[in-house]
């Protein structure tokens, strides 16, 4: 049957009613892992999602819930900025920061160097005395000390090899997220719905392989 990739920032009541009147019954609806806050207490925008899902149910629609972890914001995350103590040149494999507090080796990193990508270059070790931080790969271009460095800390590591503790931790976080989304659909009244367990692998999926970060 007919379906729609549903993204409405406006009036859901009107949008879903009109779609139903034109025969639309299948809705592809995204709630990414980035919707889960650091404390994993509930889905961010919970009431907004419930409203849309309840309207789909009201008009006999069946949602396909899209689960993904686009590397732009792949999982629960903390964004912040830091300052370089000295300029860092293209090709450098370390940087010096004026403040290394709360950096987590293997989870904290520099954002968006040449892509929409959180923690694209990870910090692998930190010397708090000097501010020296080793990087998981070389910088693709120069960074200047007079400009803030955009950084993030990932709550979960990118997917490591199966059967490693790091893989198990990330996979468990993913399962908690998936169940929270399923619970949301059930609360909205859907006894039956579908899951798309990942977005297109042709883009945004560097998080599925930790080697992309090294």
Cα(67)–Cα(64) distance, integer angstroms: 9
Range name among 138-147, 166-175, 177-186, 198-207 with the lowest pLDDT average: 198-207
Pick from 69, 8, 45, 71: nearest CA to 197 = 69
Q: What are the tens digits of pLDDT across the range 44-96? A: 999 999 999 999 999 999 999 999 999 999 999 999 999 999 999 999 999 99
Q: What are the tens digits of pLDDT across the range 162-185? A: 999 999 999 999 999 999 999 999
Q: What ranges in 6-105 are assigned the alpha helix state H?
A: 12-21, 46-58
pTM above 0.85, yes or no: yes
Pick from 52, 51, 3, 53: nearest CA to 27 = 3
Handedness of CA 109, 112, 114, 116 (dihedral sign): positive
Q: What ranges in the chain are assigned the alpha helix state H?
A: 12-21, 46-58, 165-187
For residue 69 the two structure tokens come to 């972890």
For residue 134 the two structure tokens come to 């080793």
Residue 10 pLDDT: 79
**Residue 77 or residue 202, greater confidence:** 77
Residue 194 contacts residue 211 (beta carbons within 8 Å): no
Cα(17)–Cα(24) distance, integer angstroms: 9
């Amino acid at each position: 049957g007919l379906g729609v990739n549903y993204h409405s920032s406006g009036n859901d009541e009107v949008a879903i009613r009109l779609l139903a009147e034109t025969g639309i019954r299948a809705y592809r609806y995204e709630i990414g892992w980035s919707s889960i806050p650091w404390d994993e207490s509930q889905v961010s925008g919970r009431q907004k999602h419930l409203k849309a899902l309840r309207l789909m149910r009201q008009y006999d629609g069946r949602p396909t819930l899209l689960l993904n972890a686009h590397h732009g914001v792949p999982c629960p995350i903390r964004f912040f900025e830091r300052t370089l103590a000295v300029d860092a040149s293209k090709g450098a494999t370390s940087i010096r920061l004026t403040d290394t507090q709360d950096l987590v080796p293997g989870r904290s990193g520099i954002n968006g160097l040449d892509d929409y990508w959180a923690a694209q270059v990870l910090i692998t070790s930190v010397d708090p005395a000097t501010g020296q931080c080793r990087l998981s790969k070389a910088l693709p271009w120069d960074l200047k000390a007079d400009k803030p460095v955009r950084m993030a800390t990932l709550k979960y590591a990118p997917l490591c090899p199966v059967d490693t503790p790091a893989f198990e931790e990330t996979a468990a976080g993913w399962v908690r997220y998936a169940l929270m989304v399923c619970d949301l659909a059930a609360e909205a009244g859907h006894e039956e719905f579908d899951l798309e367990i990942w977005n297109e692998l042709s883009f945004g999926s560097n998080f599925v392989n930790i080697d992309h970060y090294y």
